[in-house]
Amino acid sequence: MEFYVSALILGLCLAAVALGIFISMKIFRIPDITTDGSYTLGAVVTAVLLTRHCPLIVVIPAVILSGGLAGCATGLVHTKLRIDALLAGILVMTALYSVNLSLMGRSTIPLVNVTNIFASYPLIAALVAIAVLTLLLSYVLRTDFGIAMRATGDSESMTRALGVNNDRMKVIGLAIANALTALGGFLVAQYQGFTDINMGIGVVITGLGSVLISDRLIRWFRIRPIWLQLPVVILGSLVFQLVLAFTLSIGVDPNLLKLITALFVLAIVGAPVLRLKKAA
Amino acid sequence: MIQLNAIHKVFNPGEPTQVTALDGVTLAVETGSFVVLVGANGSGKTTLLNVIAGAVLPSSGAVVFDGADVTRLAEHRRSRWVARVFQNPLSGTAPELSILDNFRLAALRTSPKGLRIGVSDSFRRLVRDRIATLGMGLEAKIDQPMGTLSGGQRQALTLLMSVMDKTSILLLDEPTAALDPRSAALIMRTADHLAREYRLTTILITHNLRDAHTYGNRLIMMSEGRVVRDLTAAAKTALQLADLAEWFG
């Protein structure tokens, strides 16, 4: 039982990453690999500041800012230098590895005897954190700015004709997406009790898998209002972590976890295509 | 008033694919006039419209709106004056967004899109009333995604969206090319009606000679990047459809 509760909390923490991927992937249709780096960056900033006993009121804005800057970097490389978004993300992610390592000064920082939002009621803390993020994001997406943002990913010719600076919008969008991802790093670092330089490897796939699960559900139940889609993204993250937890519980070697994650995402992406072929 | 002074546009200069799309176009379009632009494919019509909209920057020459030089102003900034309807009905609307959200964005064409929720009950009513004027029954569907509508319906809504915010110039680039005859007729009637009601300076590109003959109060023909014929209202009224067809002979 404890095992599944822990998967649930991890799913909630990683829901922040899923929300970030939802923005970059579903709203802007940009596959943003910066995620692996900005997630670690969030965790690194958290560890560095918490071990220096900074209060959360400093740590949280710093995490948001760091992730936002990483997203801006990718956005600027993509829009100003006209470099493919995927490549821009990989460039920034690679650069962030060194940034993270020099910020930490070593490859792992344990978070013991420091402030931790999961100290007493971890499940409630995770729920509250994600609820606040979701409410904020749902508000932003319903504002005039949010409509412009959603339209940018949908029809650039339209938004340009309606006075939207598409390039600027993409930079802001990637900044928001990576700020959310960094917050995911902030949560997971505290939950697992340490920050590790390699903790971001493959996290983009975890986020993507969660968003793909939620996408199936959103299509299935025809969920149209954007504020209703966000909770489904969180549900996607929970399902994803529970499936992984189940795989481990039946005795699969933890070293194979990344392979299983990749295969699971492949199954979600590939299944509808295979089914269509069979039908045809 | 739109003024174009000696506009030249060369695509891919210095490369084997170099094309002169506009070869010294000088044109003044009076406020409130409805110009129909005809000409063979490749004559420079769309490039001219794109130069006015700011989607294409001219190689040389100047674009002036009401005395203000906008030649170097990017498209999203020029949208303060210009509303566009594209040939492809999909280009002027966002398919995944609801009809209501599409209209909200259109209502903010000339203003910043801020962090406040602008889709209020009164805005819903306004959109519903405007859409009802089309008589297509779409006012009941404003919460549906735009993508669920047909090309004709989307094009009709795009036209309405163009007057949701203050507009002085309306650019129509073959707005009916992808539509069936009935939808096409409705779009043309709506465009004509809106152009009159809001006193818009309208430029319409069309390959439909009947529309070119019926609508507008000025007719311009382009060929190889130049204006080769320019008929004022009186001359246009006197023009027979058969004469117009002969231009393309």
Give the ipTM: 0.90
Contact A144 B90 (CB under 8 A): no
Tell whether B209 is covered by a domain.
yes
pLDDT of residue B244: 87
Q: Which residue of B has its CA nearest to A149?
A: B113
Closest Cα in chain A to B76: A163
Q: Which residues contact A173 (CB under 8 A, 6 or more apart)?
A: A23, A24, A27, A28, A30, A75, A149, A152, A153
Q: What residues of B are in contact with residue A156 (Cβ under 8 Å)?
A: none
- The residue ranges of chain B whose pLDDT is under 70 are none
Q: How far is it, in rounded angstroms, from Cα B129 to Cα B158? A: 15
**Interval A105-124 mean pLDDT:** 94
Distance linking the first and last C-alpha atoms of chain B: 33
pTM of the model: 0.91
Look at residue B50 and tell me if it is in a domain.
yes
Within 8 A of A162 by CB-CB distance, chain B residues are 76, 79, 105-106, 108-109
Q: Is residue B134 part of a domain?
A: no
- Strand B201-205 and strand B34-39: the pairing is parallel
Q: List the 2-61 stretch of B: residues with Cβ below 8 A of A.
A: 53, 55
- For residues B135 and B189, give the distance between their C-alpha atoms in angstroms, rounded to a whole number: 13
Q: Is the dihedral of CA B89, A148, A203, A225 positive or negative?
A: negative
B109 found inside a domain = no
- Please tell me the predicted confidence (pLDDT) of residue A279: 67
Residue B200 lies in a domain: yes
Q: In whole numbers, what is the pLDDT of chain A averaged over residues?
A: 94
Q: Which two tokens stand for residue A99?
A: 């940034």
B56 within domain boundaries: yes
Question: Do the Cβ atoms of B117 and A140 come within 8 Å?
Answer: no
Is residue A90 within 8 Å of residue A33, measured between CB atoms? yes
pLDDT at A280 over 70: no
Give the pLDDT band (50/70/90) at residue A264: confident
pLDDT digits (tens, 9 = 90+) for A56-102: 999 999 999 999 999 999 999 999 999 999 999 999 999 999 999 99
What string of DSSP letters covers A231-246? HHHHHHHHHHHHHHHH
Which of A147, A157, A166 shows the shortest C-beta gap to B101?
A147
Q: Of B105, B114, B143, which is closest to A162 when you measure between CB atoms?
A: B105
B184 part of a folded domain: yes
Structure-token pair, residue A262: 């990749």
B176 has a chain A CB within 8 A of its CB:
no
Q: Which pLDDT score is estimated for A254?
A: 86
Q: Is a pLDDT exceeding 90 seen at residue A118?
A: yes
CATH code of the domain covering residue B188: 3.40.50.300
**B2-11 and B60-65 strand pairing:** antiparallel
Domain, as residue range, for B204: 2-95+167-246
Rounded mean pLDDT of A35-53?
97
CB proximity A222 to B under 8 Å: no
What total of structural domains would you count in chain B? Answer: 1
Q: Is residue B156 part of a domain?
A: no
Decide if B87 touches A, using CB distance below 8 A: no
Cβ within 8 Å, pair A163-B110: yes
